[in-house]
């Protein structure tokens, strides 16, 4: 049996996504910039894709810009907003637990003379609104806060943050990295006070290498990719029609099934967390498994992060892999990178033995209870054996 429990890393495309991608590569393969019929037809595909996505967010079609994925969307939102608004101020705010695709552009801007405040998080990964309020200065131009943390699933108080930012200064742009939230929960930027929102297709059963940035029509942001002037000159490069259609199909399917998927994911998460607790009881005398993710509304339904003290995450990851179970190591700082892979776990101030032994299990709407049970039984078999070899 196989259990793919790494859906926050990437997901398998659905058949409908595959079909529309192939169709727009093999049959209706035109370039929207061409003036002939094939181009007009491709332009229509692009327009329809934009319309489908805009509907899921309750925004205007012209506010959706296709990108090569969320890394590009985040870079564009942050650097583009900073460049366009530098006369208004040189201060930005983000959180200490963002994805590298937010943290690295922030570091880059620091090198260019901007000041960045990194908000700390509590033990469960949430920022404090008081900290946010105190961080906002007269020259703050952008706040960037992720919706759902990709490592432990914490849901940040985005709606409250949006309200707070706009009440302090409506001119401050609010960017949200919604990669782990879009398709899993309702995301309505206008209601949440969000001006810029990043999304990636491959996390929601769409193709890799495509995503979008929502830009509120009133927001000022510079383009970063210059060239042939596609997408109103805001993001040049031949339009990725198959990618856009695949993304739109994935979005449509995700939101059509949202209610059932959420219920299913919550049930899977509970099964996994209950199973880990039961394991804790059965592994008497062994170090206790520590679950970082919370149940309830402040945590995403598709992510369970847990530490297995005494067993290094890479060792457990590969032992599970031998049984056809695929998960992510939550920590594993890589020595040759400036940025540790898990800044997030470090920010939770976990003890080293928890940092070194964390795994992330992430689900999708196609994950089955049988996969969860298979993973739990593999853990029950492996943990007593592997922890025997652990350094104590």
Furthest CA-CA distance within the chain = 73
Distance CA 126, CA 166 (A): 20
Q: 158 and 195 in contact (C-beta within 8 Å)? A: no
Helix (H, G, I), strand (E, B) or coil at 292: coil
Distance CA 215, CA 132 (A): 23
Under the binding rule (CB under 6 A), the answer on residue 179 touching ligand PLP is: yes
Active site residue 333: yes
Q: 80 and 132 in contact (C-beta within 8 Å)? A: no
> How many residues contact ligand PLP, by CB under 6 A?
13
Distance CA 46, CA 44 (A): 5
Q: Minimal distance in Å, beta carbon 260 to ligand PLP?
A: 24
Q: Minimal distance in Å, beta carbon 131 to ligand PLP?
A: 20
Q: Minimal distance in Å, beta carbon 358 to ligand PLP?
A: 16
Work out which of 59, 70, 248, 279 binds ligand PLP, going by CB under 6 A. Answer: 70
Under the binding rule (CB under 6 A), the answer on residue 294 touching ligand PLP is: no
Under the binding rule (CB under 6 A), the answer on residue 200 touching ligand PLP is: yes
Q: What's CA 366's distance to the chain center, in Å?
A: 19
Q: Minimal distance in Å, beta carbon 70 to ligand PLP?
A: 3
Under the binding rule (CB under 6 A), the answer on residue 342 touching ligand PLP is: no
Element (H, E) at 249: helix 241-256
Going 181 to 187 to 193 to 195, the CA torsion angle's sign is positive
Work out which of 125, 193, 211, 242 binds ligand PLP, going by CB under 6 A. Answer: 211
Q: Count Cα atoms within 13 angstroms, Cβ side, for 34.
A: 13
Binding window for ligand PLP (CB under 6 A); candidates: 17-25, 68-76, 183-191, 266-274 = 68-76
Under the binding rule (CB under 6 A), the answer on residue 299 touching ligand PLP is: no
Q: Minimal distance in Å, beta carbon 198 to ligand PLP?
A: 7
Distance CA 237, CA 240 (A): 8
Cβ-proximal residue to ligand PLP, closest one: 69
Work out which of 30, 69, 207, 275 binds ligand PLP, going by CB under 6 A. Answer: 69
Which CB sits closer to ligand PLP, 70 or 196?
70
Residue at token pair 């540790």: 340
Helix (H, G, I), strand (E, B) or coil at 278: helix
Under the binding rule (CB under 6 A), the answer on residue 71 touching ligand PLP is: yes
Which CB sits closer to ligand PLP, 70 or 383?
70
Q: Which residues contact 315 (CB under 8 A, 6 or more apart)?
A: 386
Under the binding rule (CB under 6 A), the answer on residue 180 touching ligand PLP is: yes
Identified catalytic residue from 13, 333, 364, 375: 333
Under the binding rule (CB under 6 A), the answer on residue 101 touching ligand PLP is: yes
Distance CA 140, CA 161 (A): 14
Residues labelled catalytic: 333
Interacting residue ranges for ligand PLP, rule: CB under 6 A? 69-71, 74, 99, 101, 146, 150, 177, 179-180, 200, 211
């Amino acid at each position: 049996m196989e259990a793919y429990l790494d859906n926050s890393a990437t997901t398998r495309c659905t058949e409908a996504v595959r079909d529309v991608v192939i169709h727009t590569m093999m049959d209706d393969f035109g370039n929207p910039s061409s003036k002939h019929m094939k181009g007009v037809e491709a332009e229509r595909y692009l327009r329809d894709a934009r319309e489908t996505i805009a509907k899921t967010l309750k925004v205007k079609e012209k506010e959706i810009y296709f990108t090569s994925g969320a890394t590009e969307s985040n870079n564009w939102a942050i650097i583009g907003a900073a460049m366009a608004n530098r006369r208004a101020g040189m201060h930005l705010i983000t959180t200490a637990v963002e994805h590298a695709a937010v943290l690295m552009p922030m570091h880059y801007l620091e090198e260019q003379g901007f000041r960045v405040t990194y908000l700390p998080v509590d033990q469960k990964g949430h920022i404090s609104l008081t900290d946010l309020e105190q961080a906002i200065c007269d020259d703050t131009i952008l706040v960037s806060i992720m919706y759902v943390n990709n490592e432990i699933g914490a849901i940040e108080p985005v709606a409250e943050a949006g309200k707070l930012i706009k009440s302090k200064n409506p001119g401050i742009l609010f960017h949200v990295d919604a990669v782990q939230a879009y398709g899993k929960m309702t995301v309505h930027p206008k209601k949440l006070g969000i001006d810029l929102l990043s999304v990636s297709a491959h996390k929601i059963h769409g193709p890799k290498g495509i995503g979008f940035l929502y830009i509120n029509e009133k927001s000022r942001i510079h383009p970063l990719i210059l060239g042939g002037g596609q997408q109103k000159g805001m993001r040049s490069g031949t339009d990725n029609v198959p990618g856009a259609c695949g993304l739109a199909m994935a979005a449509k399917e995700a939101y059509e099934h949202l209610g059932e998927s959420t219920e299913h994911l919550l049930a899977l998460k509970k099964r996994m967390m209950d199973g880990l607790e039961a394991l804790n009881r059965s592994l008497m005398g062994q170090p206790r498994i520590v679950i970082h993710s919370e149940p309830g509304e402040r945590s995403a339904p598709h992510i369970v992060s847990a530490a297995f003290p005494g067993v290094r995450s890479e060792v457990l990851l590969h032992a599970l892999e031998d049984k056809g179970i695929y998960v992510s190591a939550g920590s594993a700082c890589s020595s040759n990178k400036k940025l540790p892979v898990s800044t997030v776990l470090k920010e939770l101030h976990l003890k080293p033995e928890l940092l070194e032994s964390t795994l992330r299990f992430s689900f999708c709407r196609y994950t089955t209870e049988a996969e969860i049970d298979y993973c739990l039984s593999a853990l029950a078999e492996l943990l007593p054996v592997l922890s025997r070899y652990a350094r104590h």
